[in-house]
Structure 1
Amino acid sequence: MAGALGSQYLGGLYPCEMCMWQRWPHYAAIVVALLSFVAKPARVPLIWLAALLIAVSGAIGAFHAGVEYGWWEGLTRCATTFGASGGSTLDSIMNAPLIRCDVAPWHFLGISLAGWNAIVSLGGALLIAVLMRKAPSNRDWRP
C-alpha cells in the first residue's frame, strides 16, 4: 500500500476505479494481519484470511492488467480525481483529469502497476500459504 499511496500522493499517478478496487482487499488484509497479533487463539485462521485477501487483490490486479493490455474489456467506467485539487466544486469538476482504466499510466519492465500488483500479491499470498503449511504449529489448520 505504501507504493500505491506513494505513487498517488508523491508521484502524481492518480488511481482509476479498478486501481481503487485493488486497494480494498489490501486494507482489509492489513487489519486482519494486525488482529492476528492480538487475537492469539485465532491467529492461524486470521493469517490464512489475510493471505486470501492479498490473493484477491492480486486477482483483481491481473484482471485490471488484462484490461490495460487489451486482452478483454473492463467492467467499469473511467474515474476522475474529483475533489483531489480543492477549490470550488465547479472548478474541481472542470479541472479533474479523467483517469482511464484501460490505459496504464506507468510501466516498469513492460509491466503496469496493476500487473506488478498481480505478481507481487499472488506471489506473496502463495509464499504465506507455503510458510503456513510448513509451520509445525499450524498442522491442525491446513486447508
Structure 2
Amino acid sequence: MLFLKGLLKDWKWPVAAIVVSALMLAAAHAFETFGHLYPCPLCLRQREVYWALIAMTLTGLALWKVRPTRRFLVALNVLIGLVFGVGVVVAFYHSGVEWKIFPPPAGCAGGGEIDLMNMESLDRPMTVPSCTDAPFYILGLSMAGWNGVVSAILAAASFIAAGATFRGRNEA
C-alpha cells in the first residue's frame, strides 16, 4: 500500500501511466514480431488507445510544468482515467466479438494471417486476421479480455490518484 501511495504522489501517476502504456504496446508488438500473432483491426484499435494516452499525458505534463497547479493535475489524472476507460470499452467489445456476442465490424472478416517479415509473401494477396478468432485464452480470457482487465485497473488507479490529489494529499 505504501508503494501505491508513493506512486500516486504528484506527477508520478501520469508518468507511471505512460510507462505502463508503453509496456503494453511493447508486449503487443512482441506478440506480433516474435509470436507471429498479427493484429486484427480491433487489436490495432486497442493499441490506438495507448498511443493516444501517451500523447495526451506527455502534453499534459509539459503544460503542467508551465503552470503546476493541483487543479490541473487532478484534471490530467481524470483524463487519464477516462482514456483508460475507453480502452476498457474497446477491449470489452473485442472480447464480445470473439465470444460471438457482438457482430464484428466491417473489415474484420479475416481470411488468414499475413507475415510482414517475409518478403516473398508480398506476391500473395494480403489478408487481415479475423477479429473473431482469439489466438489463445488464459484463465478464460483472451488477449483482448486481459487488456480490458489491465485497462480497468489503470482507470481505477487514475481516479484514485485524482481523488488523492484533489483532497490535497499529494501537493503539486
- With the shorter chain as reference, the TM-score category is 0.7 to 0.9
* Larger CA deviation: 122-131 vs 13-22: 122-131
The match for 1:33 is 57
Letter in 1 for 2:162: M
The match for 1:115 is 145
Structure 1 pair 66/31, CA: closer, same or farther in 2 (3 Å)? same
- Matches of 2:79 and 2:48 in 1, distance apart? 14
* Larger CA deviation: 43-52 vs 109-118: 43-52
Report SS of the residue matched to 1:28.
Answer: helix
Give the counterpart of 2:80 among 43, 50, 56.
Answer: 50
Give structure 2 stretches of 5+ with no counterpart.
1-24
Give structure 1 stretches of 5+ with no counterpart.
139-143
Q: How does 1:39-118 map to 2 (within 5 A)?
A: 39-40=63-64, 41=67, 42-78=72-108, 84-85=116-117, 87=119, 91-92=121-122, 94=124, 96=126, 98-118=128-148
- Matches of 2:87 and 2:146 in 1, distance apart? 11
Are the aligned partners of 1:70 and 1:102 in contact in 2 as well (CA < 8 Å)?
A: yes
Letter in 2 for 1:92: L
Higher strand share: 1
- Matches of 1:84 and 1:96 in 2, distance apart? 9
- Matches of 2:49 and 2:143 in 1, distance apart? 16
Report which structure shows greater RCO (CA 8 Å, sep ≥6): 2
* Larger CA deviation: 97-106 vs 54-63: 97-106
Q: Percent identity?
A: 26
